[in-house]
């Protein structure tokens, strides 16, 4: 779908210069002389390169809509991860470096994820906002330490180091934010 350059907003995905770009910033300028234009900052979805471009209001640019599909994480297959489309039961393999080292530890068997597709090609992966993990090991609680608001280091069941409240011990289940990797609360 073609749109005018002055209607570009952050979050839109554009097809430009032979690549897919997600708009990170867009500021619209109406100078005293000449036509209005939009200063656009965008990031390439495949390479991660950044782009600063100026679009005049009469410029036409191709807006792309990504299809969001529900997938379930199945298993680790060496240097790739296997996911299953919840609607068609088709399996796809995504390379670990594409998924990202910081997100892989949060994947759990059977976990529901959203994969954004463009022309049947995966473009992005969205994890659930929070996951439940078990505290694998942590320092013992020191008497009198529970009153302070300081946190202590712990190792979660997925191998990620996390700071938890001092009153918690190994074996307890906790809720962790997948974007920040921080402790949220004790799991029910």
Burial of 89 (0-12, 13-18, 19+ CB in 10 A): exposed
* Residue-wise pLDDT tens digits, 98-136: 888 888 899 989 999 998 888 888 888 888 999 999 998
CB 162 within 8 A of CB 152: no
State the distance between the two ends of the chain, measured CA to CA, in whole angstroms: 46
What is the rounded average pLDDT for all residues in the chain? 86
For position 149, what pLDDT does the model report?
Answer: 65
- Supply the pTM of this predicted model: 0.71
| Range from 70-74, 93-97, 136-140, 163-167 that averages highest in pLDDT | 70-74
Q: How far, in Å, CA of 142 to CA of 153, rounded? A: 13
* Residue-wise pLDDT tens digits, 52-84: 989 888 889 888 888 889 999 999 988 999 999
Q: What percentage of the chain has pLDDT greater than the value 90?
A: 24
Q: How confident is the model at residue 142 (pLDDT cuts 50, 70, 90)?
A: low
């Amino acid at each position: 779908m073609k749109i005018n350059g002055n209607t570009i907003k952050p979050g839109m995905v554009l097809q430009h210069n032979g690549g897919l770009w997600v708009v990170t910033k867009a500021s619209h300028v109406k100078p005293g002389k000449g036509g209005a234009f939009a200063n656009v900052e965008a990031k390439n979805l495949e390479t991660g390169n950044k782009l600063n471009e100026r679009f005049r209001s009469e410029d036409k640019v191709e807006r792309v809509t990504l299809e969001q599909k529900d997938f379930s994480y199945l298993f680790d297959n060496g240097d790739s991860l296997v996911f299953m489309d919840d609607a068609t039961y088709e399996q796809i393999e995504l390379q670990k470096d594409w998924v990202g080292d910081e997100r892989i530890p949060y994947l759990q068997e059977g976990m529901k994820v959203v994969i954004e597709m463009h022309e049947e090609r995966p473009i992005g992966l969205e994890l659930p906002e929070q996951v439940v993990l078990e505290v694998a090991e942590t320092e013992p609680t020191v008497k009198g330490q529970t009153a302070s608001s300081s946190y202590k280091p712990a190792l979660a069941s997925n191998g990620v180091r996390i700071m938890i409240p001092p009153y918690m011990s190994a074996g307890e289940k906790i809720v962790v934010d997948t974007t920040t990797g921080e402790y949220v609360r004790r799991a029910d």
